[in-house]
Amino acid sequence: MAVKVAVTGFGGRMGRALAEALAQSDRAQLSAAVVRPESSLVGADAGEVAGLGNCGLPIVGGLEGADFDVLIDFSAPVATLANATFCAGHGKPIVIGTTGFSSGEKAQLLQAAEQIPLCLASNFSTGVNLCFNLLETAARVMGQDADIEIVEAHHRHKVDAPSGTALSMGEVVADTLGRDLSQVAVYGREGQTGARDRDTIGFATVRGGDVVGDHTVMFLADGERVEISHRASSRLSFARGAVRAALWLAGEGADQRAPGHYDMRDVLGL
């Protein structure tokens, strides 16, 4: 029997991509499409909104009464916190792709992981999570002798910067080198900045057009440099990863995972 998946933030780009990914899956199905209660999409057919044709599933304005085994949430921090609380109260696993949480919001969010399995990731693409492992190796081998810079680009509508993925990349590198990212991160430069401190990790952000997501981490040593890059050309790569995580949390026919905080590297066995 297919795993029943609810999707919040259904009116956004990721909501439509998730609908497509679920339609392509033979192990999961869209069972609830959720938007804000005041949205004009409430009552519309989810398949029609996603461009997949009529599927007979009306969009709803909340999780109350929805029938699902696991929730996938790509919405906004405040909404995600409320949805995680709902899932914790109803014993439902949750996959979270929302970014832009404050440290306090993230701590509050992870309290739900004490009651349910919760997969929180800044990026659900297989390639990006492979890059995390490659970054650990690069940092271990040449990180102490290189200047490290992270450049990311996204579409004009993205509201947080740097991206959650760029920050996660920085955290991977900093942790491998025994540094505290909050102390060594440099977000943009202007004016007379002085010579670069070798221990810092620089971030540069580009916003424009319809860029789905580009990330490059540069290890710049004297005489050579190594660049580890990932470029996404479709949101389907993220959506398919999120569906894979939902199936993994739900147990794919077996018992669901134990309560706890997981990430995409757990899902992929990395």
**Whether residue 101 sits in one domain with residue 58:** yes
Catalytically annotated residues: 154, 158
Q: Dump pLDDT digits (tens) for 87-137.
A: 999 999 999 999 889 989 999 998 999 999 999 998 899 999 999 999 999
How far apart, in whole angstroms, are the C-alpha atoms of residue 144 and residue 123? 27
Domain span at 15: 3-120+235-268
**Whether residue 220 sits in one domain with residue 135:** yes
**Whether residue 133 sits in one domain with residue 103:** no
**Whether residue 155 sits in one domain with residue 52:** no
State the pLDDT at residue 252. 62
Mean pLDDT of 213-222: 97
**Whether residue 131 sits in one domain with residue 147:** yes
**Whether residue 89 sits in one domain with residue 191:** no
**Whether residue 170 sits in one domain with residue 90:** no
Whichever domain contains 59, its CATH number is 3.40.50.720
**Whether residue 262 sits in one domain with residue 204:** no
**Whether residue 28 sits in one domain with residue 110:** yes
State the pLDDT at residue 254. 59
Mean pLDDT of 189-213: 96
Residue 240 has pLDDT above 60, yes or no: yes
**Whether residue 240 sits in one domain with residue 211:** no
Q: Provide the β-strand partners of residue 8.
A: 34, 73
What's the burial of 65, exposed, middle or buried (CB within 10 Å: 0-12/13-18/19+)? Answer: exposed
Whichever domain contains 220, its CATH number is 3.30.360.10
**Whether residue 13 sits in one domain with residue 114:** yes
How many structural domains are present in the chain? 2
Q: Dump pLDDT digits (tens) for 144-173.
A: 999 999 999 999 999 899 999 999 999 999
One DSSP character per residue, the chain reads: -PEEEEEESTTSHHHHHHHHHHHH-SSEEEEEEE--TT-TTTTSBHHHHTTS---S-B-BSSSTT---SEEEE-S-HHHHHHHHHHHHHHT--EEE------HHHHHHHHGGGGTSEEEE-S---HHHHHHHHHHHHHHHHHGGGSEEEEEEEE-TT--SSS-HHHHHHHHHHHHHHT--HHHHEEE---S---SPPTT-EEEEEEE-TT--EEEEEEEEETTEEEEEEEEES-THHHHHHHHHHHHHHHTTTSPPPPSEEE-HHHHHT-
**Whether residue 107 sits in one domain with residue 21:** yes
